[in-house]
Amino acid sequence: MTTATQRFDPTLDLVLERDIDVPRDLVWAVWTTPEHLRQWFAPRPWTVADCQIDLRPGGRFRTVMRSPEGEEFPGDGCILEVVPRERLVWTDALLPGYRPAPEPFFTAVIELRDSGAGGTRYTATAIHRDPEGRSRHEAMGFLEGWGTVLDQLVEHVHTMRR
C-alpha cells in the first residue's frame, strides 16, 4: 500500500515527535482500540466519555472528552488512511463516509517507526487549513496537551504489560 506524502509547513502544521519506550505494535493497538484509547487520550483530570473507531478509510474516528465539571466536547471525524503499525490519518473536515463537516479544524497524522531497543519513534502532526487555525490550536496547548496524552499512552501500555 502506498501512503500519501506530506511536507511539513510551519505556517500550517504543528508536530510532536518523540522516541518512546513502547513497541510499535502496542502503540498501534492503543491508538486503534476504543477501550484503550479511552484510558489515555484526554489530559487528566479530563476523561474520554465515548470513543468510536471504524478502522477503515471512510470510517468514523469519534471521541467525546469530558471536563472535570462534566461538560462534554464531542469530536467527530473521518478516517482517511490506515497503514497498520505505521500510519493513521483522520480529519474533522469530513464526517464518516467522506461527508463534509460543518466546522473543520484539523487533520491528524500519526506515524510510527521502530526506534532503538524495541521502542517507537512517534510523530503526531496536526495539519490546519490556515495559519489562524494553527495559531489557535497552538494557543489551546497542542504541544503540552498532546505531549501529556503521549505520556499517558506510555503509562497505559506499561500498565497493560504488568
CATH architecture of 14-160: 2-Layer Sandwich (3.30)
Model pLDDT, residue 7: 81
Long-range contact set of residues 100-107: C-beta below 8 Å, sequence gap at least 24 = 101/76, 101/77, 104/129, 105/133, 105/137, 106/133, 106/137, 107/80
pLDDT average, residue stretch 49-75: 98
pTM above 0.75, yes or no: yes
pLDDT average, residue stretch 56-71: 98
Q: Report pLDDT digits (tens) over 77-120.
A: 999 999 999 999 999 999 999 999 999 999 999 999 999 888 99
Q: Report pLDDT digits (tens) over 15-41.
A: 999 999 999 999 999 999 999 999 999
Residue 97: phi and psi, rounded to 5, are 80, 15
Q: What is d(CA 57, CA 37) in angstroms, rounded to the nearest whole number?
A: 19
